[in-house]
Every structure is written in structure tokens, then in C-alpha cells.
Amino acid sequence: MGLIDRIDTICLPVSDVKKASAWYQETLGFQESFKADGYCVLHVGEKGIPLTLEKGDMQTNSNNPYPIFFSERIDQLYALLAEKDVSLGELQHDDVNRFFDFFDMDGNRLQVCCWK
């Protein structure tokens, strides 16, 4: 057994923590579970890894890490995000799963997948 037990959180840099937190709460239904100066932690689902939004430099780099969220209701989520005018990529299918990219208000790449 290793010395690391689990991933504790995933951090995303944002230009304005308060506005970004509101966007994630209103758009994706996440809940803010903790906030401090310069960052906040959002609860994702019932057992998901938290998402930490932190004030940071906003650089456009396609090689930045990004979270992939899982949703069994991917079609409903895609439609909801489209209704909210969220920047969306095309809903794609491969041999294993369905997925799409979308972007938060700072242009951070996010992805949703569904597989059986």
C-alpha cells in the first residue's frame, strides 16, 4: 500500500473566485462547502472529488489538466448547458463512451462523460 490514500481535490485557476463559484453553483448545481481568502471548495455530487477554485493567472493553454465529470444523464445535461448559453463542444461518441467538452466563464476546459 502506498503513502497516498486518494485524490483530495482538483484545482482550477479562475479570475474571480466569487463569480466563478456562483457560475459553478448556478450552472452545474455544485455546492460551496468552504471558502477562504483567494479560493473556495465546491462539493461535486454525493461522493465526488471536490473542485477547488483558486485565484490565479489565466493562461490559454490546451495542455492544461482538466476535470472530467461523469453523468448518466448526459443528454439532459448537454441540453441544460445549451439553454444556459454555456460554450459547448459537440456531443461525441466513441467505442466506449459519450462525452463533450464545455468551458467555464474563464475558458477553463471541462468535460462530461457517460459510459456503461
Decide if 5 is inside a domain. Answer: no
Amino acid code (one letter) for 97:
N
Decide if 1 is inside a domain. Answer: no
Decide if 74 is inside a domain. Answer: yes
Cell 465546491 belongs to: 42
Render each residue's pLDDT in the chain as its tens digit; 116 residues: 675 677 789 989 999 999 999 999 999 999 999 999 899 999 998 888 999 999 987 665 556 788 989 999 999 999 999 999 999 999 999 888 999 999 999 999 999 999 88
CA angle 114, 64, 50 (to 5 degrees): 55
Decide if 29 is inside a domain. Answer: yes
Domain extent at residue 21: 10-56+65-115
CATH number at residue 14: 3.10.180.10
Which residues, 6 or more positions from 110, have their beta carbon under 8 angstroms from its beta carbon?
66, 67, 68, 69, 101, 102, 103, 104
Decide if 15 is inside a domain. Answer: yes
Helices and strands counted in the chain (H then E): 2, 9
Give the total number of structural domains in the chain. 1
Decide if 44 is inside a domain. Answer: yes
Decide if 2 is inside a domain. Answer: no
